[in-house]
Amino acid sequence: MSTMKLCVLGIGRMGLPMARRLCAAGHTVQVWNRTRAKAEALAAVGAQVHDTPATAVAEAEAVVCLLEDGPVVAQVLFELGAANAMPPGSLVIDMSSIKPAEARAHAELLAQRGVSHLDAPVSGGTVGAEAGTLAIMVGGDAADFERAAPVFAALGRATHVGPHGAGQLTKLANQMIVGITIGAVAEALLLAERGGAHMAKVREAITGGFADSRVLQVHGQRMVERDFAPRARMTVQLKDLRNALDTASALGFDAPVTALFERLYAQAIADGLADLDHAALFVELARRNGMT
């Protein structure tokens, strides 16, 4: 697999291990983060740290964005000068989780500047980012998807799911399933415990049956251990559910189950759980049942 001149914009919980993997794969990597100190650790693995996004992208064949939300992506690309500084014919691979409509708008604005775009959000959390096992959901032109193959190969398994915005639609579907399944696992385990069953044994007993899932295995274990140290935060899960509801509304689609869980996560955050892992919806459901 060929190597590329890359830039990574956004060195946070996901951006740091992903940029590290791109360096390890032999790519030439420039990095920028609003708080420079968070990016400095990458200098030890060969990345060059920049003070501005415009200087970071100046020679990049592809720019990977790992930013907080759609407005931040737009600000970095179009207000802080990144898009104008990118070479003609280069490619933005936006791996942030944003609204599909935002992804389509960014693609159009970049095309006007002669820059291509893929929306390529990921699932797998920091564990997948560190191991290079992320599920990558990609929207955009097939030719650009092929161009981005060396980037995706270092990070996980990429699937081209359709035109611009389709990657973000797929991520919303993913987050709907994850957020709702966390609630189902938490409520079921709490019910079993209230009735006198051993929670850990209940989880063990249903593993391998129709109720089994990665959420039961990973988040269910966190619930058994009461380990809610943040991997994917409650606030991020709520953001994704709200993006899903906004998109559903724009499409004239009724999503009552997602709406219910949006309210549950919002209440959990209002009750002080904002900085915990999204598996901490368990804590909110336990509180409602006097089981804290």
Residue 208 has a pLDDT of 97
Q: Any residues with CB less than 8 A from the CB of 223 and at least 6 apart, and which?
A: 185, 186, 189, 199, 279, 282
Residue 282 in this model has a pLDDT that exceeds 90: yes
Asked whether the predicted pLDDT for residue 68 surpasses 90, the reply is: yes
Selected catalytic residue, list 5, 38, 99, 171: 171
pTM over 0.85: yes
Look at 48-57, 105-114, 118-127, 148-157 and tell me which has the smallest mean pLDDT: 118-127
Work out the mean pLDDT of the chain and round it to a whole number: 97
* Band (292; pLDDT cuts 50, 70, 90): confident
- pLDDT confidence band for 1 (50 / 70 / 90): low
Report the pLDDT averaged over residues 223-247.
95
- Is-catalytic flag, 171? yes
Residue 231 pLDDT greater than 90, yes or no: no
Residue 125: its pLDDT value, please?
A: 86
Contact assessment for residue 5 and residue 59, using Cβ atoms and an 8 Å cutoff: yes
Q: How many residues does the chain have?
A: 292
Q: What's the average model confidence in pLDDT over 230-240?
A: 93
Which tens digits make up the pLDDT trace of 101-139? 999 999 999 999 999 999 999 998 888 999 999 999 999
Residue 72, pLDDT score: 97
pLDDT at 145 over 80: yes
Alpha helices (H) in the chain, listed in sequence order: 15-24, 53-57, 70-74, 82-85, 100-111, 125-131, 142-147, 149-155, 166-194, 199-206, 214, 220-225, 234-250, 256-268, 281-288
| Ramachandran assignment for 99, one of left (phi > 0), alpha (psi -120 to 50 degrees), beta (any other) | beta
pLDDT digit string, tens, across residues 162-221? 999 999 999 999 999 999 999 999 999 999 999 999 999 999 999 999 999 999 999 999
Q: Please write the tens of the pLDDT for every residue from 85-99.
A: 999 999 999 999 999
At residue 20, does pLDDT exceed 70?
yes
Choice among 55-64, 145-154, 229-238 with the minimum mean pLDDT:
229-238
The arithmetic mean of pLDDT across residues 42-54, rounded, is 97
